[in-house]
Amino acid sequence: MAAELIELAPIDQALLDGTHGQAAARAMAMLVRYGRASGAREFVSVASAHIDGCLYHGPSSIDFVERFVSLGGRVRVPTTLNVAAVDVTHPEWHCGPANLLDAQRQLTELHLQLGCKPTLTCAPYQRVIRPRAGEHIAWAESNAIVFANSVLGARTDRYGDFTDLCAALTGRVPLAGLHLEENRRPTLVIDTVSLQRSELPRDLYFATVGYALGALSQGHVPLLRGLPADTNEDELKSLGSAAASSGALALFHAEGLTPEAAQFADQATLASISGQSISAADLHQAAAKLCPLNEGEPVSAMCLGTPHYSMTEFQALSAAVRGRRAASGVEVFVSTSREIAASVDADEHLAPLREFGVKVVVDTCTYVSPVVRDTTGAIVTTSAKYAHYGPGNLRRHVGLMTLQRCIRSAELGKVAPDDR
């Protein structure tokens, strides 16, 4: 039996035997094989799941989910959906293959038939209900994983397409990876240059610290020291998504900021761990790598919201663009969830966004979904993740900038002078 190396609890055996339906049995059989490959000795229950396989990659995306629907499957825990391949609510913005719209609609509908919630956001942690510290979850999407583990203190391994849905259909996962206490302990201490000494604007500082952190921490769980005491969640979101992009980081501890960091603060613990540092030069080097644009270069679009924008970020953007307007021909896209988009639409105080020319994209992220029509100019962004993946995904010239420089570039229709 495939399960012979793993101790099965009564619920696991019942799931395998089909007591809870054939869909759950099929999913559990896959998880047993997955657990055996990961060296797990037992399973653990999860409180929620977040599905990345809802982004259409091809016919196999539909085939996999369709099979569970045909078996009468239903998710056993609250399950949210990650971004889709396209914003189907604004089909007029889509610049990719026309058949992608229908395929994505079908894939989303199949997940809804399984009982998933149509959140379609890469930032499920921005919802009102979110995981508690110490709670086991099964989340996919790199930035959601690193945020849940690090900032919330929840426990998830790096789940990918298909294993995430199996976890949702069973409510169980192998007790392995970052679900285990011993694998969450820091194995590397990294001291970062302070914000003041970095001589970088605040938003660029967190993006580049994250990018440098990921590159330094591959294969490690880092304890990061030196961040400002007033670092907020949006800044940790920016940092974590950058680190997940440059180094596939799934967990970091930030001294004085993240919930598990305090237990590793004693000197005896730190003395036994090797150390590294991030210098101001490292951050400026990361900024240069992620912004290969030249001053005066034509700009086609400003794309924000990778990861999805929070309400606080929309409010800050609205204040920053008040009384300003993007140049003719420059598109401005900001990605977010349906829930936050509805709040933005209903808030009359955010009128400056519409006056500037902001288009609020839902259900997707614009670094995977082609929406920028003018292919002759560059795309400017505040997201290190976008600047890392955008050029390869979209075959476009992309540059990481501060929010103020992005806004000025959108106003001018060309890359504005560096404001550092």
Express each pLDDT in 371-406 by its tens digit: 999 999 999 999 999 999 999 999 999 999 999 999
What CATH superfamily classification does 291-412 receive?
Aconitase, domain 3 (3.30.499.10)
Residue 206 has pLDDT above 80, yes or no: yes
At the topology level of CATH, where does 2-182 sit?
Aconitase; domain 3 (3.30.499)
pLDDT in tens, 140-177: 999 999 999 999 999 999 998 999 999 999 999 999 99
Residues 187-201 have a mean pLDDT of: 97
User: Of the ranges 1-5, 349-353, 387-391, 395-399, which one carries the lowest mean pLDDT score?
Assistant: 1-5
Q: What pLDDT is recorded for position 273?
A: 85
pTM of the model as a whole: 0.96
Asked if 379 and 372 count as a contact pair (C-beta separation under 8 A), the reply is yes
Q: What pLDDT is recorded for position 268?
A: 63
Asked if 290 and 211 count as a contact pair (C-beta separation under 8 A), the reply is yes
Residues 193 and 280: their CA atoms lie apart, in Å, by 6
pLDDT averaged over the chain? 96
Residues 286 and 403: their CA atoms lie apart, in Å, by 17
Q: What pLDDT is recorded for position 2?
A: 43
- Position 1 confidence tier, pLDDT thresholds 50, 70, 90: very low
Which of 48, 118, 130 is CA-nearest to residue 83?
118
pLDDT in tens, 269-278: 677 788 999 9
Q: Where in the chain is the domain with CATH 3.30.499.10?
A: 291-412
Residue 267 has pLDDT above 70, yes or no: no
